[in-house]
Structure 1
Amino acid sequence: MESDLPKVLHAINGKPMINQVINIGEKLNPKKIVVVIGYKYKLLENHLKSHNVELAYQLYQKGTGHAVIQTKSFFENYKGNILILSGDVPLLTKSTLEELYNHHIQNQAYATVLTAELEDATGYGRIIKNSIGNLKKIVEHKDATYEEKKINEINSGIYIFNAEYLFAELPKLNNKNNQNEYYLPDVLVHFLNQNKKVSLLKTKKNIEIQGVNNKQQLQKLNEKI
């Protein structure tokens, strides 16, 4: 981001991205909100003092699966669902997240992934389906083959998981991939291998799932809204 600030403290539409993500989470009346912080966490600790959130720490950046497992102690004995949002995806709306939750419940899924179709899917994980259109796996862009990179349906990084089964499977992840990271989407393959249903919901509101990885994307997103 060419800045000393953590990425999620950069502003979209005049507000830090993390504020917008927390605000949309609060509109869903959750039992609790846990924010995972790591890079320059002291700045985030100070910024988040005014928010009713709990903090988990990922001091070493080892991937999305590793980030989520840092929250395990906050959900001991919790048997409900967990909504996982990304701090750099600030434009989600309450209606989209409610639709995702309802889809998850109606399909009696163990996990549900919000997807989208993009003309340019560069940088996003690709949704790989089997011959009958069900999820087979999600492949990160850096691990995808030439053919897989032609797929335009992407993983938004927004999920709902059954908490009990999520935390049971997270310790089983490995980092045998091109980034040497523990990928959260790999949990979905564990579920599928155990015949636990994983559901997909494709949004048509692509603007809502756009993330920010650099200054140029930040500027473009600000111009769009």
Structure 2
Amino acid sequence: MLAVAVLAAGKGTRMKSALPKVLQPLAGATLVERVLASCEHLQPDRRLLIVGHQAERVEQELEGHSGLEFVLQQPQNGTGHAVQQLLEPLRDFRGDLLVLNGDVPLLRPETLAALLEQHRSSGAAVTLLTARLADPSGYGRVFASPDGQVSAIVEHRDCNDEQRRNALTNAGIYCFNWQQLSAVLPQLTTDNDQGELYLTDTVAMLNPAMHREVDDADEITGINDRLQLSQCEAVLQERLRHHWMAEGVTFVDPASCTLSEGTCFGRDVVVEPQCHFRGTSAIGDGCRIGPGCLIEDSQLGANVSVLHSVLRQAEVADGCAIGPFAQLRPGTQLGQQCHIGNFVEVKNSSLASGVKVNHLSYIGDADLGAGVNVGAGTITANYDGMRKHRTVVGAGSKTGANSVLVAPLRLGSNVTVGAGSTITKDVPDGALALGRARQLVKENWTGPRP
């Protein structure tokens, strides 16, 4: 059996944030969510999150993760003290305990699988993950024999000068035989520089203790401040871009673009510079995105082009052209071959195939039939000061420039709205609707005289 415990009780004071450190966002997910995701494939029998600082907030953020058990550490007195809190909830557990840190989000699933496999095949009481770092400052040093057996772990602050020259560092990731660990946990003491209970001290009490050196040292990067958060973001973004380029996506300037792990791309997509993808978004085959776009929680069909525009919670069918400088707000649905042009905003509206809204318009809470042509400066006046109302425009209709459609309103099919009109009443099929004052011309006008 396997239990996974994630240490997530710390304050993270160096982040200088009202948000708990483990809830800091990284490429569209929180740090602790990334840690939890890294071990999902192991299918653990128990998953425990040790919380402390802002425990209620952390629990609320993770309430959607079924089967996750929360264990309170109060006060927080070191990693050993944190794992001591598991003695009661795991009193009847028989198996291995994998201990992860909630602020180490770059671990690959295959790394944890290899760690668990080595631990079980070697029969070790504990197997820890290690890395050789060019600059090991701040990390505990691991002292081991050539066959991988660990003799000691010494925290950086407790190392002497000779010990600090050792580049083999403790990643803070452990796989324990739980029965052996639970027997020695009560023996931990605070005899160290910080006056805390260190989980690392159990390694000297367990035999045999082994280590596995990680291939990519970036995986064990911990986050304590904003600089380290940005460094992890850069590593993760590079991974994501490399993955999608290998799948047939072209990034013209990869370093200028950011992705979320919820973003997926089809083949032959071209992403121009300064494009950013957030949340869960799907970009279809042959799309051309950018430059200068933000796409969040949106689905795009094949051969869509988007230029200098923002899309949030929008659905866009094949062959649409969007931008430049357009905004599709939540609830927007575009049928095939729609054109949304410069300085156009669409919100909570359904546009059927072939609709064109090419210039300077606002379409909100509206349903537009196939082939509707919206003239420049047309707006739907959808708000009466208390409620939102819908506008329905039938297929083949068109509005002239600077038209105002005051909702609730229904225009039939093949309706023409004259330029400059304000339409407040329903219009039947095939009609011409005009709603503007008669033009008045005064000839030989000299204007006011002083």
Matched, 1:189 2:218: no
**Residue 26 to residue 134, structure 1, CA distance change in 2 (3 Å):** closer
Q: CA deviation at 1:71?
A: 1.5
Whole-angstrom distance in 2 between the partners of 1:171 and 1:129: 25
Alignment partner, residue 99 of structure 2: 84
Whole-angstrom distance in 2 between the partners of 1:13 and 1:118: 25
Q: TM-score w.r.t. structure 2 length?
A: 0.48
Whole-angstrom distance in 2 between the partners of 1:132 and 1:209: 22
Q: How does 1:44-193 map to 2 (within 5 A)?
A: 44-52=58-66, 53-129=68-144, 134-191=149-206
Alignment partner, residue 303 of structure 2: none
1:51-85 Cα distance to aligned partner (Å, 9 max, x none): 12000011212100000111122212212001001
Query: Between Structure 1 and Structure 2, which shows a larger proportion of helix residues?
Result: 1
Greater mean deviation of Cα atoms: 133-142 or 49-58: 133-142
Q: Secondary structure at the match of 1:72?
A: coil
**Residue 133 to residue 84, structure 1, CA distance change in 2 (3 Å):** closer
Query: Between Structure 1 and Structure 2, which shows a larger proportion of strand residues?
Result: 2
- Please tell me the residue identity of whatever aligns with 2:95: G
Alignment partner, residue 31 of structure 2: 17
**Residue 81 to residue 26, structure 1, CA distance change in 2 (3 Å):** same
Whole-angstrom distance in 1 between the partners of 2:148 and 2:31: 34
Q: CA deviation at 1:48?
A: 1.5
Alignment partner, residue 221 of structure 1: 232
Q: CA deviation at 1:139?
A: 0.5
Q: CA deviation at 1:132?
A: 7.4
Whole-angstrom distance in 2 between the partners of 1:198 and 1:169: 14
Q: CA deviation at 1:28?
A: 1.0
Q: CA deviation at 1:175?
A: 0.4
Greater mean deviation of Cα atoms: 132-141 or 3-12: 132-141
- Please tell me the residue identity of whatever aligns with 2:35: V
Q: Secondary structure at the match of 2:62?
A: helix
Contact 1:124 1:140 in 2 (8 A): yes
Alignment partner, residue 7 of structure 1: 21
1:168-213 Cα distance to aligned partner (Å, 9 max, x none): 100000000000000001011111xxxx211110011111111101
Alignment partner, residue 47 of structure 2: 33
- Please tell me the residue identity of whatever aligns with 2:198: Y
Whole-angstrom distance in 1 between the partners of 2:160 and 2:20: 32
Greater mean deviation of Cα atoms: 121-130 or 207-216: 121-130
Q: TM-score w.r.t. structure 1 length?
A: 0.94
Q: Tell me, which stretches of 5 or more residues in structure 1 are unaligned?
A: none
Q: Secondary structure at the match of 1:161?
A: strand
Contact 1:25 1:33 in 2 (8 A): no
Q: Secondary structure at the match of 1:27?
A: helix
Whole-angstrom distance in 1 between the partners of 2:147 and 2:132: 18
Q: CA deviation at 1:140?
A: 0.6
Contact 1:120 1:152 in 2 (8 A): yes
- Please tell me the residue identity of whatever aligns with 1:94: P
Contact 2:148 2:210 in 1 (8 A): no
Alignment partner, residue 223 of structure 2: 212
Whole-angstrom distance in 2 between the partners of 1:184 and 1:75: 17
**Paired-residue identity, %:** 36
- Please tell me the residue identity of whatever aligns with 1:108: G
Contact 2:106 2:232 in 1 (8 A): no
Whole-angstrom distance in 2 between the partners of 1:103 and 1:60: 34
Whole-angstrom distance in 2 between the partners of 1:107 and 1:213: 33
Matched, 1:43 2:57: yes
Q: CA deviation at 1:11?
A: 1.4
CA RMSD of aligned residues (A): 1.3
Contact 2:151 2:209 in 1 (8 A): no
